[in-house]
Chains A and B, each alone.
Chain A
């Protein structure tokens, strides 16, 4: 039983999502190997992967074709390595979700998406219906291709390991796709999926300016990441990578502060595993209060500035 984790990285650093995936892979009970595929700059990331506690071996595949994790190029590489592995795992990030089903289909196996628990090496728990039900599924395939909900597994220690780094090479795809550009959202704030505290705003904020005016100072005060409901994103108050929910990001911070968010099913699916949920809403019947640990029925335009000042 050996598991291969597909690392998510930016060349130099390994994404935290990978650390959670290593923990999940270790729970399968065998050796954990990590594949770092990338362009010329992937060396540093491979070095960082070798430091992760619990990793037995790092495979480094360097080729310009792997530089932007294009699934058309990376999937054939993973498939070429698959013979040696019983399970192949990646975090359920947009990168993992993009590549892994392609790998699964090429191997003719069903992927198990977004697992939240491992019952046995072939049996997993995963949420369905926007987290309104938890399914236990057993795979009868020869290999398991798995994406991991990172908020459901502790992060492995980023240091303390001393894995060997092996060079590997493999096919690089048919060249029928091309990376053009990445418009990254610049932010000094903690990353949403890794933040300890999240302040999130909804439609009640009225517009982008008001969102900024009320939510940002509170988030600054708490050193928190800023999130938003789908309504706030669709209305254009904030960019769409702020969205928390079934169709956005899944978060599980220590404290989630929902401001002017009613608590639709699709939003709750993205944040109801937060340790403590705080809700501020003027509607006492808002569904958010059914999941909130601490609720305050108040007009956010009075309560939020007061809160920011008193903290």
Chain B
């Protein structure tokens, strides 16, 4: 079985994003970029399935600018076997990403497509579900446990009231939640080896997908700033404040 792992290059999660003064977006010039944290978890899970003998090959895919190559090299250094970069300078929305991934899945015929549950830049949480819909396959979203059993997979999902388990026929689409695993660091020798692993470069046109946006972003602004608060000296003062608020 092959596993397809889409990964996204995003602003590093430790960086506080700055909104551009003209409201056109978030300033990404000279900002540290990394692999989306949920995608790292997806790569790690794919590698663990391969290590457990459940998968033979891991293909990492990224859709974005030429620099997304770095993200793919990271996935290769962690343990992916080869990579596909679908290069475009446009911001590609989840629906178009899902269409490109569907075309790649038709070529590669993976048993599992393993994605992160959401990207920390657009916070959409859509791509995996959309891909599953377009492929006509079942989905296991927000996975905290994945267990392959013959031609089906059990996925434990993090839902609002607790944990839900579903059983899906393969092939299936799975999106990872934070507690699925702890992603490994790529070692220096593996980073060197990753430079020699195959990386194909394609364009959205190769897959016949129109990536023009359906949602026009007219303005990006700072969130409302909270009023500066007040520090209290001791617990008594805090109790008085809370009582004034009507608490207790």
Tell which of B16, B132, B218, B245 touches A132, judged by Cβ atoms closer than 8 Å: B16
Q: Are A70 and B166 in contact (CB-based, < 8 A)?
A: yes
Q: Are A102 and B130 in contact (CB-based, < 8 A)?
A: yes
- Whether A176 touches B168, Cβ cut-off 8 Å, given contacts A110-B215, A130-B123, is yes
Q: Once bound together, how far apart are the Cα atoms of A111 and B95, in whole Å?
A: 8
- In the assembled complex, the CB of B127 is this many whole angstroms from the nearest CB of chain A, namely 8
Q: Does A75 contact B (CB under 8 A)?
A: yes
Q: Does A43 contact B (CB under 8 A)?
A: no
Q: Which of B11, B17, B125, B239 counts the most A-chain CB atoms under 10 A from its CB?
A: B125
Contacts of B154 in A (CB 8 A): 180
- Whether A246 touches B120, Cβ cut-off 8 Å, given contacts A133-B223, A311-B242, is yes
Q: Does B106 contact A (CB under 8 A)?
A: no
Q: Are A292 and B219 in contact (CB-based, < 8 A)?
A: no
Q: Are B232 and A294 in contact (CB-based, < 8 A)?
A: yes
**Which of A32-40, A46-54, A138-146 is the interface stretch?**
A138-146
Q: What are the interface flags for A118-150 relative to B under an 8 Å C-beta threshold, 1 for contact and 0 otherwise?
A: 000001001111111111111111000000000
Name B93's closest neighbour in chain A (CB-CB): A110
Name B248's closest neighbour in chain A (CB-CB): A311
Tell which of A105, A247, A265 touches B129, judged by Cβ atoms closer than 8 Å: A105
Tell which of A68, A75, A297 touches B231, judged by Cβ atoms closer than 8 Å: A297
Question: Which residues from 280 to 306 on chain A have a C-beta closer than 8 Å to any C-beta of chain B?
Answer: 280, 289, 291-298, 303, 306
Contacts of B248 in A (CB 8 A): 221-222, 311
Question: Do most interface residues of chain B lie in helix, strand or loop, or is the interface mixed?
Answer: mixed
The number of residues on chain B lying at the interface, defined by a beta carbon within 8 Å of a beta carbon of chain A, is: 78
Name B221's closest neighbour in chain A (CB-CB): A134
**Which of A22-30, A81-89, A91-99, A202-210 is the interface stretch?**
A91-99
Contacts of B241 in A (CB 8 A): 278, 294
Q: Does B227 contact A (CB under 8 A)?
A: yes
- In the assembled complex, the CB of B207 is this many whole angstroms from the nearest CB of chain A, namely 16
Can you show 5 pairs from A to B with CB atoms below 8 A apart? Answer: A102-B129, A128-B121, A134-B223, A176-B137, A265-B13
Chain B interface residues toward A at CB < 8 A: 11, 13, 16-17, 19, 26, 93-95, 98, 118, 120-134, 136-139, 141-142, 144, 154, 157-169, 177-179, 213-223, 226-227, 229-232, 234-239, 241-242, 245, 247-248
Q: Which 8 A-B pairs have the closest CB atoms?
A: A101-B129, A105-B130, A101-B126, A105-B133, A177-B138, A110-B214, A180-B165, A176-B169
